[in-house]
Homo-oligomer: A and B are copies of this chain.
Amino acid sequence: MNIALDVMGGDYAPHEIVGGAILAAREYGITISLVGKPESIEQELIKHDTAGLKLPIVAASEVIEMHDKPATAVRNKKDSSMVVACRLVKSGEAQAFVTAGNTGGALTAGILHIGRMKGIQRPALITPFPTQHGFCTLLDVGANADVKPEHLQQFAVMGTIYARRIMNITNPTVRILSNGEEQGKGNQLVLDAAQLLAQTPGVSFQGNIEGRDVIAGLADVVITDGFTGNVLIKTAEGMVKLFRSVLMEELKASPLTSIGAMLSKPAFSRMARRLDDSEFGGAVLMGLSNVLVVGHGKSNANAIRHAIRVAKQSIESKMVEEVQGGIHEIAASGSDTLLLQEIG
């Protein structure tokens, strides 16, 4: 197995990215192609003992920066680490592409240079999301700001297979994010999609779910458009920050609570780790003909290791092939012909 890693993408690139590659190569024994500027990569590799690890360097002279406009950057920077890594996957040399760089850039490079899976209209970003019971599978968290009901139907199939293969849930339940749990609540998109989802083969659709019940853990898979999904994960991220800062402020406000805070420190660290998205393993852009994993911009070595782990699990479990089968099944069942009649 060979995973193409964009060494130049991310706030802490190349240092933490190379660090993560070394952790993953050691733990999983797989080949990780380090794509980027050779001199930068070598400077990092030299700091570690990499004897016996399979870490070939693949040269790429350009970098798609965090502030670059995705479409323009992917078109103009033909020798960027992202584009070179995607070509490595397209050619069959690597089986997955992992990056912590510009998310829009990664999606664009993936769609243009790896290509869509046959039958998939809109690839979607899938991420594990923390709940009271562990994690749920959430998609789309940002690839598609505007979607149609039939896209959400495909998301449900992709989410179900991700939950099965990556989260190890045998029969995942699927709900659609809405502004109320009752049937009949929702915007027009949700109302139209709900009808379609109820008759989708291979999907255990259970109706609507509200934001708070996503976090309460009341569904294994939660589907939504990329606009709303993005608002949800960023709101959650903002709330974790708010909670931490209010807590720290209040703990420091009196001598007694300051002592309490000192004694409680191990609990705070454990809590931070449980809510820390560096453990989540990044988001998968599902719906391409190969695996693409996008880590958070602030990924450290551990986050990169997890992103590589997700790519490895996806390849091993033949997730792409399984999604292809699921999409084929929807088409065969005729539920999208019905859709065409209904939506017009």
**Residues of chain A whose beta carbon lies under 8 Å from any beta carbon of chain B:** 130-132, 142, 145-146, 177-180, 185-188, 190, 210-216, 225-228, 230-243, 245-247, 250-251, 253-254, 256-257, 259-268, 270-271, 274-275
Contact = CB atoms under 8 A, between A and B. Distances in A.
Nearest to A188: B146
A177 B231 contact: yes
Nearest to A177: B231
Contacts of A180: 230
Contact of A186 (B213, B227, B257, B265): B227
Contact of A266 (B216, B254, B267): B254
Contacts of A247: 247, 267-268, 271
A252 to B, nearest CB: 8
Q: Pick the most buried of A142, A212, A245, A253: most chain B CB atoms within 10 A of its CB.
A: A212
A210 B230 CA distance: 9
Nearest to A247: B271
B270 A263 contact: no
B264 A260 contact: yes
Given A250-B271, A263-B263, A270-B253, A215 B231 contact: no
A185 B245 CA distance: 29
> When A and B form their complex, which 4 residue pairs have the shortest distance between CB atoms, in order from nearest?
A260-B263, A215-B238, A260-B264, A211-B234
Contacts of A230: 179-180, 210-211
Nearest to A255: B263
Contacts of A264: 251, 257, 260-261, 264
A271 B246 contact: yes
Q: Of A132, A210, A238, A266, which is in contact with the most chain B CB atoms at under 10 Å from its CB?
A: A238
Given A266-B254, A267-B260, A211 B187 contact: no
Given A235-B214, A239-B236, A256-B263, A227 B271 contact: no
A236 B235 CA distance: 7
A215 B235 contact: yes
A77 to B, nearest CB: 19
B253 A261 contact: no
A263 B267 contact: no
Contact of A239 (B239, B259, B266, B268): B239
A237 to B, nearest CB: 5
Contacts of A257: 263-267
Given A257-B266, A264-B251, A271-B250, A239 B241 contact: no
A113 B329 CA distance: 51
A142 B187 CA distance: 11
A226 to B, nearest CB: 7
A145 B187 CA distance: 5
A211 B188 contact: no
Given A250-B271, A260-B262, A263-B263, 5 more contacts: A239-B239, A243-B243, A250-B268, A256-B263, A260-B264
Contacts of A228: 227-228, 231
A132 B245 contact: yes
Contacts of A275: 242-243, 246
A3 to B, nearest CB: 28
Contacts of A210: 230-231, 234
